């Protein structure tokens, strides 16, 4: 029998979490919960939505697990706060690891992690609690990803690198081996990180500039 869980959230990420847990896990999603001001409908994806303030009445912690499906808002602080609140309420925070992710013996999966397809996590890497690894990342050997981190897709974390708590790493970022990223850093899409970054650093490469020539004037495409 599958363990029954409740998902915190009623947005796109909660919808995705429900899909992944339903089709590729040992868990069964039986309901959703959100803070009362954000309760806009009594149901979501055909299941009940209850206010978080009363979730223990509808889904007691001794019988149900919980997963917090919140993105990187406020540098992951919102997700971390909801995880802490659920923990304080006595809930077991569950994690999802895709069956299509590549992992090796010895990897410890902590609470409220969301690890999607095509992640490769090499031996001796360490993943903290409440970490989201979107699809297609490479997590090198002996690297460390601390708690409350969010990695977007196709990030390369080379061997021995460290990413500090609460950081956000954008699409296609590359980290050189054995460098350290401080806490609550933002590494923008496409950044190439070759040296240590202190706490609260922002590395934001410029995007490709738009040509002044419209596409209707291109003759060889």
Q: Which domains does the chain have, with CATH numbers?
A: 3-88 (3.40.50.20), 96-201 (2.160.10.10)
- Concatenate the DSSP letters of all residues of 19-80 into one string: HHHHHSSSEEEEEEEE-GGG---SEETTEEEEEGGGHHHHS-TTT-EEEE---STTTTHHHH
Provide CB contacts within 8 A for 99, sequence distance 6+: 24
Q: What is the spatial distance between Cα 64 and Cα 4, in angstroms, rounded to a whole number? A: 5
Q: What is the pLDDT of residue 221?
A: 64
Cα torsion 176, 108, 98, 117 to 10°: value is 0
Q: Please, are residues 159 and 145 in contact by the beta-carbon 8 Å criterion?
A: no
pLDDT tens per residue, the chain (221 residues)?
Answer: 899 999 999 999 999 999 999 999 999 999 999 999 999 999 999 999 999 999 999 999 999 999 999 999 899 999 999 999 999 999 999 999 999 999 999 999 999 999 999 999 999 999 999 999 999 999 999 999 999 999 999 999 999 999 999 999 999 999 999 999 999 999 999 999 999 999 999 999 988 889 898 988 887 76
> Considering only CA atoms, which of 108, 110, 80 is closest in space to residue 95?
110
Q: Is the pTM of this model over 0.85?
A: yes
For CA atoms 24, 47, 133, 86, the dihedral sign is negative
Burial of 41 (0-12, 13-18, 19+ CB in 10 A): exposed
Q: What is the pLDDT of residue 208?
A: 87
- What count of other Cβ atoms lies within 10 Å of the Cβ of residue 142? 16
Q: What is the pLDDT of residue 93?
A: 98
């Amino acid at each position: 029998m599958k363990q029954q869980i409740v998902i915190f959230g009623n947005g796109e990420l909660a919808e995705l979490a429900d899909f992944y847990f339903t089709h590729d896990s040992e868990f069964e999603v039986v309901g959703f919960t959100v803070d009362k001001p954000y309760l806009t409908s009594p149901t979501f994806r055909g299941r009940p939505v209850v206010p978080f303030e009363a979730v223990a009445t509808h889904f007691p912690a001794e019988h149900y697990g919980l997963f917090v499906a919140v993105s990187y808002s406020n540098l992951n602080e919102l997700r971390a706060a909801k995880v802490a609140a659920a923990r304080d309420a006595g809930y077991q925070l569950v994690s999802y690891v895709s069956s299509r992710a590549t992992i090796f013996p010895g990897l410890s999966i902590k609470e409220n992690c969301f690890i999607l397809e095509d992640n490769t996590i090499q031996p001796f890497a360490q993943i903290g609690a409440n970490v989201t690894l979107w699809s297609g990342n490479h997590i090198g050997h002996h690297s460390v990803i601390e708690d409350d981190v969010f990695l977007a897709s196709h990030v390369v974390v080379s061997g021995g690198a460290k990413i500090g708590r609460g950081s956000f790493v954008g699409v296609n970022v590359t980290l050189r081996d054995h460098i350290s990223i401080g806490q609550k850093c933002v590494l923008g899409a496409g950044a190439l990180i070759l040296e240590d970054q202190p706490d609260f650093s922002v590395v934001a490469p410029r995007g490709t500039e738009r040509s002044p020539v419209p596409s209707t004037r291109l003759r060889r495409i």
